[in-house]
Structure 1
Amino acid sequence: MTAALPKAARVATWVYFGLNGFAVGMWVVHIPDIEHATGISHSTLGLLLLVLGGAAFAGMQIAGPLVDRIGQRRLVPAAGVLLGLAMFGPGLAENWWTLGFTLLFVGFGNGSLDVAMNAQAVVVERAYPRPIMAAFHAMWSIGGAFAALIGAGALKADVPAAVTLSGAGVVCIVVSLVAGRYLIEGEPVEQAVADEPAPKTPAKLVWQLGALAFGLMLAEGVANDWAALQFRDVLDTSTSTAAYAYGAFAVAMTVGRFATDRVAAVVGPAAIVRYGAGLAAIGLTTVIVVPWVPVALIGWALFGLGLAGGVPQLFTAAGNLDPRASGALMARVVGLGYVGLLAGPALIGGLTHWMPLNVAFVLPVILCVLTVIAAPLLKTGQPAKEKAETLSA
């Protein structure tokens, strides 16, 4: 493989991560308008969001084996096009059932693209002498930020949601078709590995990696949905000041993901997960116990910085357990992580019926501490990759 090919694939994979974040962000910023247009209640919207989440999980589990069967070069663009087509639906929905029907396709397309592009990222990373996975995940955040800016501008200009979301769908379709030309399949050395008897991938290890992803993404979901509310309700700030809480978390996480790869190349993935989770636990504990806004902002920033690198390392470890089943194995870990992302806000909301919001945040702190203890699992997550490197030498 020439030196230029992995670089082109790396840029194309960046594009898909950014595109996925952009599509999800465009849907999110238009939720209030779509809720109003369809005349549904908050409770109905909550149920429909569960439909979207369930469809995304199904898409992940179907896309994983498909990646291994037909390859990333086919599935990643196809999933991107499917997501783009699905984006036309929510803005055109007129009632709860048409919105629910369209969200099935949005969720399925999002879940399929999520697993497929992560599987491609693992393949591209194998062509590099250092980790590059975390930067891909940072591009997802960048795509979401662009969506927030563009969506806010469109809403301010009173552009109908159907027009904006359809435009986003066209962007997804065109970019997916163009970027797909630069994706790559596995290295030839992986075929050499594939010709040998299949190594046993311990099911227990896969579920353990999935459990870590569940915990870290649950913590991320808590920040996404509760950071601003914690400032407003617990620290009694204004709504505008409360927005800085999530902003501190999101900016720190994005910056941390861009920095993680070079640090991981020196200290290894297990250290990234262990010390990152430890830093996240310290940050959120600061938020829990310190009632001063400036210190709490620092706490949310530390929380985001600590969580930044962990999930990409887990996805890489899952994808490298066995290159022949990379997609299927990654689908399990990504799927469990996604369940955590969805479950976190709901669990915290349930706990607030019995305890203050700050106290409920002890749950993600505990999960971060457990991750610190279990982080050495990642040292056993790369046997197939190391074997491939030995064969190529």
Structure 2
Amino acid sequence: MHSYSTAHNRVRTIFFLHGAAFSSWVPHIPLVQERLGLGHDELGGILLAAAIGVLAVMPIAGRMADRFGSERVVRYSGLFYFTAVGIPAFMSDYVSISIAMFALGFSGAFLDVAMNANGLHVERVKGRSIMSGLHGFWSLGGFAGAGIAAAWFALPISNYYHLPFVLSLFLIAHIIAQTGLLSDAQTNAILTSAQSETDEDHTSSVKPKERNMFLLLLPFGVCAFIGQFGEGVITDWATVFMNTELSSGATMAAVGFAIYSFAMAATRLSGDALVTKFGRAQVLLTSSVLASLGTFIITLSPHYIVAWIGCGIAGMGLAVILPLLLSAASKATGKGGGAVVSIIAATGYSAIMAGPPIIGAIGEVAGLVTAFGLTATFLAMIIPVYLLTMRSRLQIAGNG
């Protein structure tokens, strides 16, 4: 008999490793910029190449996860990803690093969709919310990867060896962890058996399956777009805002971002318990309020210490929106895996990419205070979307 706890722990490990690998690469970005003599616009170009890679994989990753099994796609996309993360740091010109960044974005999103799909399968057989906790482990991996990089850079060891060393360890851990993942075939067998025992529940769960999948998931995607838009803005612009508008200096601005990151990780790790206790609808609405409130506090802050409070509140609000929506959409539609993840994740990734340049353009014309105020207002739009289109769907999703 397959151990669901083992499968849960293995997919947690995959999330952790994904976050650790990505955050191991991030400290190398300024080093690459300096080594190749890239301007800010050229650096933006290679980062855009990674974003294009992410979008390119979205139409196919979910289908492949559903067709071949999410556990198999996790296995092979992970081999590609943990190799691809290290390649850009060693490229010698703009064209080659752009190609390498495309491969990084493509493989990272491929693994991201597959591991989220597998997490949804584990959630369905366990019968309780786990997606927020999985994303919390991604955040923990991010902390670990960044911490290891900082320690490595402080030691008298060449930075040249950092990525090959840590990524080799992550790849070995991935190969070990993926062997214990729950297979999609097992999930389907378990759910089919459970449905055959309860005809009444089976009948009610089939109805959402018969509806148009895209239209059914559209409100979830809209809310994901709003939440991820805010996350992209805070991630890329909060430190800039504190530095330029509040004269915080780089160090104090970094403290604000650290508070935001810690609040997000802690909330994600407790998010599943909150969903179980209060329900998905209540947590989603509260998250929207906190995200909007925190961003407004940053916007109106007279001092960077007040902005730190806003960063913490915004981190709490933005933390569980995406994992909650993935989980709720799977429950409400009766479908798990790539079909749900690819639609919602695609809108989320699009928002993360669209948010920072849109806010930059608004900031250039009207100032960052106005840009952050508009972002805060936009984050509150989850509430009317819920009231108009999602109330019944989240009632289907329930609290588990």
Structure 1: how far apart are the matches of 2:392 and 2:59?
Answer: 24
CA distance in 1, matches of 2:397, 2:302: 47
Determine whether 1:119 maps to 2:117.
yes
For 1:204 and 1:323, locate their aligned partners in 2 and report how far apart those are by CA, in whole Å. 14
**C-alpha RMSD of matched pairs (Å):** 2.4
Aligned: 1:174 with 2:172 = yes
AA aligned to 2:280 is P
Q: Which position in structure 2 is the counterpart of 1:190?
A: 191
Report sequence identity in percent: 27
Relative to 1, partners in 2 of residues 1:304 and 1:127: Cα closer, same or farther, differing over 3 Å?
A: same
Distance 1:101 1:190 in 2: 42
Asked if structure 2 preserves the Cα contact closer than 8 Å seen for 1:26 and 1:147, the reply is: yes
Secondary structure, aligned partner of 1:131: coil
Tell me the CA shift for residue 353 of structure 1: 1.2
Q: Say whether 1:299 aligns with 2:300.
A: no
Distance 1:11 1:159 in 2: 33
Compute the displacement of 1:379 (Å).
4.7
Distance 1:214 1:254 in 2: 20
- What TM-score results when the alignment is normalised by the length of structure 1? 0.91
> Any idea what SS the aligned residue of 2:126 has?
coil
1:107 to 80, 88, 105: 105
Aligned residue type for 2:228: M
Moved more, 92-101 or 165-174: 165-174
Shift in Å, 1:239: 1.7
Which is worse superposed, 9-18 or 366-375? 366-375
Partner letter of residue 291 of structure 1? P
Q: Does 1:365 align with 2:380?
A: no
Output the CA distance in 2 between the equivalents of 1:72 and 1:58: 19
Structure-2 residue corresponding to 1:88: 86
2:364 partner SS: coil
**Equivalent residues in 2 for 1:167-246, closer than 5 Å:** 167-185=165-183, 186-191=187-192, 199-246=210-257
User: Aligned partners of 2:62 and 2:213: how far apart in 1?
Assistant: 18
Matches within 5 A, 1:53-64: 53-64=51-62
Structure 1 residues 15 and 39, CA, compared in 2 at 3 Å: closer, same or farther?
same
- Which residue does the alignment assign to 1:353? 364
Q: Which runs of 5+ in 1 are unaligned?
A: none
Relative to structure 1, is the Cα distance of residues 42 and 158 closer, same or farther in structure 2, using a 3 angstrom cutoff? farther
Do the aligned residues in 1 keep the contact of 2:17 with 2:141 (CA within 8 Å)? Answer: yes
CA contact (8 A) 2:216 2:333 kept: no
* CA displacement 1:44-86 (0-9 Å, x = unmatched): 1111111101111222322100111011221112111110121
Given the two structures, how large is their TM-score scaled by the length of structure 2? 0.89
Q: Indicate yes or no: 2:55 matched with 1:43.
A: no
One-letter identity of the residue aligned with 2:153? L
| Cα shift readout 1:341-370 (whole Å, capped 9, x = no counterpart) | 121111111111112212111222122111
State the Cα distance separating 1:129 from its structure 2 match.
3.8
Aligned to 1:330: 341
SS state at 1:127 partner: helix
Contact 2:22–2:85 (8 Å) recurs in 1: no
Rounded Cα–Cα distance in structure 1 between residues aligned with 2:73 and 2:392: 29
Decide whether the 8 Å contact of 1:22 with 1:145 is kept in 2.
yes
State which of 327, 352, 362 in structure 2 corresponds to 1:341.
352
- Deviation string 1:178-236 (CA, Å, 9 cap, x unpaired) is 11111112242434679989522442232221121111011011111111111111111
* Further displaced range: 356-365 or 14-23: 356-365
Quick check: 1:134 aligned with 2:132?
yes
In the superposition, relative to structure 1, how do residues 162 and 80 fare at CA in structure 2: closer, same or farther (>3 Å)? farther
- Residue 34 of structure 1 corresponds to 32
Point out where structure 2 has 5 or more consecutive residues left out of the alignment.
Answer: 197-201
Please list the CA deviations of residues 146-173 of structure 1 after superposition, one character each: whole Å capped at 9, or x if unmatched.
1111112223336455422222332332
Residues 18 and 141, structure 1, Cα contact 8 Å, conserved in 2: yes
Distance change >3 Å, CA 158–CA 332, structure 1 → 2: farther
Query: What amino acid is aligned across from residue 15 of structure 1 in structure 2?
Result: T
The verdict on how the C-alpha distance between 1:325 and 1:123 changes in structure 2, with shifts beyond 3 A counting, is closer
- 1:272-327 CA distances to partner (integer Å, 9 max, x unpaired)? 11111111111111221231333221111111111112111111123345555631
CA distance in structure 1 between the aligned counterparts of 2:176 and 2:310, rounded to whole angstroms: 41
Give the letter for the 1:98 counterpart: S
Distance 2:377 2:335 in 1: 35
1:16 alignment counterpart: 14
Match of 1:285 among 268, 291, 296: 296
CA distance in 2, matches of 1:182, 1:189: 17
